[in-house]
Chains A and B, each alone.
Chain A
């Protein structure tokens, strides 16, 4: 799966939780879930669960620690799918 497809899929996942619509519209590899999209930290759990369900992967604690931005999320998904 190419990066652009992954970002588009992540965009759909974070949409219900993102409070900054402009940042969501401009989502890219450098987008931070909390600082840019203003996703509240309790909803970051939902993002992680949604990613797990969508890709049928398990995000362990070690990976979860890094799930604060698009770049890390892509890396984690790619690693788990490999």
Chain B
């Protein structure tokens, strides 16, 4: 699945810079999302010049870097960021960072839609399987979980998943809009990097 070439301390894809959909895999912990559940919230799309732009968020966590940088067993650490219910799902490093990557990727959608900074991990909560909620609104996630990294993609509308691809080539060309958000061809893309990994989630047609 992952490219093996290490360039500039980052792992990039071997042949194709963007993996056509193959990087978007089902979560290993919980089953796939149920189709047909469509959020009608304002965060579904960003409307620019009357063109609806679907919002996506992603978060990649290098598990080795996380093991060195973060001690989640520290007293009070988990209760600051996870609800009691979420804490009951935690078994090991992978479950901690899966939950965190989900909250981070959902936050990226909310931040992009509202343009507001808010460090409130407890406001984004696990709802069921691959669904998280923020202020009553549902967000849908898919995660790729390996022994080396966890990569989560979030959308407000799950019908968007088949249209997305993961690009792990950090040399791909993109620009930032007036709010500092990454874009390609007037479409929002989502970028995440941590430790050895870099990932962009974008629509396949751009």
A positions within 8 Å CB-CB of B: 17, 40-46, 48-49, 52, 61, 64-68
Contacts and interface: CB of A to CB of B under 8 A. Distances in A.
A43 B69 contact: yes
A38 to B, nearest CB: 11
B80 A45 contact: yes
Given A42-B69, A64-B80, 8 more contacts: A41-B104, A42-B66, A42-B100, A45-B77, A46-B77, A61-B120, A66-B119, A68-B117
B70 interface: yes
Interface residues of B, number: 19
A64 B74 contact: no
Max chain A Cβ within 10 angstroms of own Cβ: one of B70, B117, B118, B119: B119
Contacts of B94: none
Contacts of B80: 45, 48-49, 64
Interface string B67-85: 0011100101100110000
B120 A64 contact: yes
Contacts of B70: 42-43, 46
A61 B80 CA distance: 8
Nearest to B103: A41
Contacts of A61: 120, 122-123
B119 A44 contact: yes
B10 interface: no
A46 B69 CA distance: 10
B119 A40 contact: no
A46 B194 contact: no
Contact of A40 (B74, B76, B117, B194): B194
Contacts of A49: 74, 76-77, 80
B103 to A, nearest CB: 9
A37 to B, nearest CB: 14
A75 B118 CA distance: 16
A53 to B, nearest CB: 9
Contacts of A42: 66, 69-70, 100
Interface string B114-140: 000111111100000000000000000
A64 B81 CA distance: 10
Contacts of B74: 46, 49
A40 B62 CA distance: 12
11 contacts: A42-B69, A42-B100, A45-B77, A45-B121, A46-B70, A48-B80, A49-B74, A61-B123, A64-B80, A64-B119, A65-B118
Contacts of B117: 68
A63 to B, nearest CB: 10
